[in-house]
Amino acid sequence: MEGVRKGEDAKIYIDGKEYLLPTVIGTEDELGIDIRRLRSESGAITLDPGYANTGSCISSITYINGEEGILRYRGYPIEQLAEKAEFLEVCYLLIYGKLPDQREYNYFVDKVTRHSLLHEDMKNFFAGFPNTAHPMCVLAAMVASLAAYYPDEKNDLELMDLNIVRLLAKVPTIAAFAYKKSIGQPFVYPRNDLSYTQNFLHMMFAVPAEEYKVPPLFNKALNILLILHADHEQNCSTSTVRMVGSSMANLFASIAAGICALWGPLHGGANQRVIEMLQMIYEDKGDVAKYVAMAKDKRNNFRLMGFGHRVYKNYDPRARILKSLADELLPELGYDDPLLEIAKHLEEVALKDEYFLERKLYPNVDFYSGIIYRAIGIPTNMFTVMFALGRLPGWIAHWRELRLDPSMRIHRPRQIYSGPSKRDYIPFTERG
């Protein structure tokens, strides 16, 4: 496979017998032991609950070095993309592997712009949800429902690209409609004269009664936020998308599964929990030390939300960008958010504490993102939907990479069984 070279064979001994296992070395010298033949040759499997040491695929989309705090999409550093690129440019880069030239970009933007309307019948689905429904639940249901309107791609490349465009185009509309539904306002239809991010903000905040102009600072902040969330290699939701896609499920079904995986508070749901935690600390007279102590207390299941990461054992580069964006944006907007001060104080106290230093727990992407979302008027229960909107190109890129891989097999891990051995059925009358 391109970009991957062979290393020296690894040796493993099981019951005194030696087995040779090939190794693979990635572009950035990451080393993997290829265990594909291990079970057929030795009868043994590898055991890795939580998959912390398991490579599920070879991928050319995103590189992370968690020890050094590096994140690159298709080789481009996240810092450069966040500063210079447009979100749809990054979508193209992630999905198709290269930065588009001007003609490719115009064509792509035009297609995405023109597919943003939802089938009118889909509006009926929104009506069926209670106003109190979490927008993540509406988003997951609506994205899965798109499969009812558009044909399964199977192996048709053109149809695959069309469904990719449809999904990128319609998810902002679904997300904004879910919000409008939750606050009882009329849906605002997409506008083709606006950019992707402007259009989303317009659908969120415009009302028929008056003109709404998207503030350029809101637009700039949203563009950066979406780029920072666009991909993060084999995280829980992306692995879910690949898992579901490996059964040959269609794009919409696979992405809907990813949205459900993202919802959990240990993953994308953390951004909502961070603001709720900061608010709680604020209302508790800003007593940061008390919450740091609670997070360290093993008898208490409280954790500092927005802290820690499976891969980053250093400052998450996305959190660094968002912290300085918050510092720059809030004063420009004249928005003095006491939660930003609480967040910075919390970070300062935690990063001096032995518990957090020893475990290499640093702020992650979710720590400062909510403060910026608040500043641009996005309500707390929409934060995880915003994460999903940003992560969409990453999910799509991984789904496409998987489906175009001729060696793809259905994903099907094994297990070590720990239940009872064979025993005979006992009738009710004889059960103790």
- Residue among 310, 313, 320, 344 that touches ligand CMC (CB under 6 A): 310
Q: Do the Cβ atoms of 257 and 244 come closer than 8 Å?
A: yes
What six digits make up the tokens of 365?
């992407």
Dist CA 379 CA 376 (whole Å): 9
User: Cβ neighbours of residue 212 under 8 Å, at least 6 residues apart?
Assistant: 202, 205, 206
- Residue among 291, 307, 373, 383 that touches ligand CMC (CB under 6 A): 307
Concatenating the DSSP letter of every residue in 49-78 gives GGGTT------SSEEEETTTTEEEETTEEH
Q: How many CB atoms lie within 10 A of CB 44?
A: 13
Question: Which residues, numbered 8-37, are part of the site for ligand CMC (CB under 6 A)?
Answer: none
| 368 contributes a contact to ligand CMC by CB under 6 A | no
* Residue 287: active-site member: no
Given the rule CB under 6 A, which of 60-68, 87-95, 340-348, 362-370 is the region that contacts ligand CMC?
362-370
Catalytic option among 115, 202, 309, 398: 309
What six digits make up the tokens of 52?
């912390």
Q: Do the Cβ atoms of 268 and 262 come closer than 8 Å?
A: yes
Size of the site for ligand CMC (CB under 6 A): 20
At its nearest, how many Å lie between ligand CMC and the CB of residue 99?
A: 25
Q: Which residue has the tokens 């998810």?
A: 171
Closer to ligand CMC at the Cβ: 250 or 384? 384
- Residue among 9, 192, 359, 404 that touches ligand CMC (CB under 6 A): 359
| 365 contributes a contact to ligand CMC by CB under 6 A | yes
Closer to ligand CMC at the Cβ: 188 or 389? 389
Given the rule CB under 6 A, which of 66-74, 131-139, 260-268, 424-432 is the region that contacts ligand CMC?
260-268
What six digits make up the tokens of 358?
């020893």
* Residue 366: active-site member: yes
| 320 contributes a contact to ligand CMC by CB under 6 A | no
| 62 contributes a contact to ligand CMC by CB under 6 A | no
Question: Which residues, numbered 203-242, are part of the site for ligand CMC (CB under 6 A)?
Answer: 232, 235
Q: Do the Cβ atoms of 55 and 311 come closer than 8 Å?
A: no
- Residue among 256, 270, 340, 388 that touches ligand CMC (CB under 6 A): 270
| 309 contributes a contact to ligand CMC by CB under 6 A | yes
| 245 contributes a contact to ligand CMC by CB under 6 A | no
| 364 contributes a contact to ligand CMC by CB under 6 A | yes
- Residue among 78, 203, 214, 304 that touches ligand CMC (CB under 6 A): 304
Closer to ligand CMC at the Cβ: 366 or 401? 366
Dist CA 324 CA 407 (whole Å): 43
Beta bridge partners of 307: 363
Burial of 15 (0-12, 13-18, 19+ CB in 10 A): exposed
Cα R_g (the chain), whole angstroms: 24
Beta bridge partners of 6: 24
Beta bridge partners of 76: 73
Annotated catalytic sites, by residue?
309, 366
Residues that bind ligand CMC (CB under 6 A): 232, 235, 266-268, 270, 295, 303-310, 359, 361, 364-366
